[in-house]
Amino acid sequence: MKIEIRPSLFLVDEALKSHSLVRGLQLLACIEKEGNLQAGSNALGISYRHAWNTLSEMEELLGGPVVEMTRGRGSELTTLGKKLVGAEKLIRARVGTLLDSMASEIESEIQSAVSHVGNVLKIHASHGFAIETLNKQLHKREIPIDLSYRGSLEALNAFSRGNCDIAGFHVPIGALEPSVFSQFERFLLPQHQIICLATRRQGIMVAKGNPKNIWNIADLVRPDVQFVNRQQGSGTRMILDLLLEQEGISGRDINGYENIELTHAAVAAYILCGKADAGLGVETAARQFDLEFIPLLSERYLLVCDRKLLEDPRFVPVMKLMQTSEFRMEVNKLPGYDAADTGKLMSIADAFPLSAGEAAKKKS
């Protein structure tokens, strides 16, 4: 069983009658990808005539052309068509993870009711493409979990309060690690275990071709650059603020610093739509939305749980899956991700030898 919640666009006319734009938007996306109406209709599995009628109805409803067809050049989306496809991508990127979390919660409740098995494994995790892949692979194998996407701090806070069994968070590798770890260490205790899910690249996402010539953090303060940020408490926001501090830059100096999107995908979609010139995120999101990516650092995406959970029947199949070559191959397919340490189990001290050592010195 899989529950899905999908956003849909409707146009409401003067008579308050709703007209679905779902099929039309699917067709426009296929035309944009394939380059002509015939190939787009084939990709969608509908006849050319049906596709033509769909476009005609859509243009009548919207009051303008969405596709321009030229002999010998195929079909291109008009400005209106591109705006519609971009808006649909932004909507999915903005609310997709929230809807996935809600669907996962509903799904686990239904499964518990049907099978009369309660106490499903609960995971609160920072959104990422490896944790998303893990969720899909677990579902494929009918291994139930209740996954909710949260910022790194919120996920760890929920874990420390006993509101979930596992928390997912990410920490940069290198000079920034101690500063980020210092914000997480109060939630991490000696009896906790760390599991590495993946290593990934973080960097600046910019429009295709990098038209504003943005190459580093210092470029973000230029008056012609519009930025889109992540929410307070997210690991990516922490990294950005530390990078700004290194450069002696205040967030107040950046246009759009207060513009907030909740996921890497939403930031990428925001840039794709032309609403911003740059944002910080993982490479997978940039490639997914056909953006340029300027790498800044690598980081580890980690899971934390109590040591006693390692023998829990709910968790054993999850751990086994993470350690399979099949799952590691799926993670390695994600642009910017590395599965070399996927499934590696560590103590807090082993996972953060330098940071944990510094923390212990301060306490003593």
Q: Are 104 and 146 in contact (CB under 8 A)?
A: yes
Higher pLDDT, 350 or 91: 350
Bridge partners of residue 278, in order along the sequence: 206, 227
Q: Phi/psi class of residue 113: alpha, beta or left (left: φ > 0; alpha: ψ in -120 to 50)? A: alpha
pLDDT for residue 175 is more than 90:
yes
Amino acid identity, residue 161?
Answer: R
Task: Give 188 or 75, the one with higher predicted confidence.
Answer: 188
pTM comes to 0.81
Q: Residue 364: pLDDT band by 50, 70, 90 thresholds?
A: very low
Quick one: tokens of 104? 């996962």
User: What six digits make up the tokens of 217?
Assistant: 């953090």
- pLDDT value of position 362: 53
- Share above pLDDT 90 across residues of the chain, in percent, rounded to a whole number: 68
Domain 119-363 fold: D-Maltodextrin-Binding Protein; domain 2 (3.40.190)
Q: Kindly report the number of other CB atoms within 10 A of residue 280's CB atom.
A: 23
Band (8; pLDDT cuts 50, 70, 90)? confident
Tokens 């909507």, located at residue: 91
Q: Provide the pLDDT for residue 3.
A: 77
DSSP 8-state class, residue 231: P
Which CATH number applies to 10-85: 1.10.10.10, 3.30.470.10, 3.40.50.720, 3.40.1710.10? 1.10.10.10
Q: What percent of the chain clears pLDDT 70, i.e. is strictly above it?
A: 93
| φ, ψ at 279 (rounded to 5°) | -165, 155
Span(s) in the chain for CATH 3.40.190.290: 119-363
Query: How far apart, in whole angstroms, are the C-alpha atoms of residue 203 and residue 217?
Result: 10
Task: Report the candidate in 337, 294, 342 with the shortest Cα–Cα distance to residue 318.
Answer: 342
Give the pLDDT confidence of 178-201 residue by residue, as tens digits: 999 999 999 999 999 999 999 999
Predicted confidence (pLDDT) per residue in 203-252, tens digit: 999 999 999 999 999 999 999 999 999 999 899 999 999 999 999 999 99
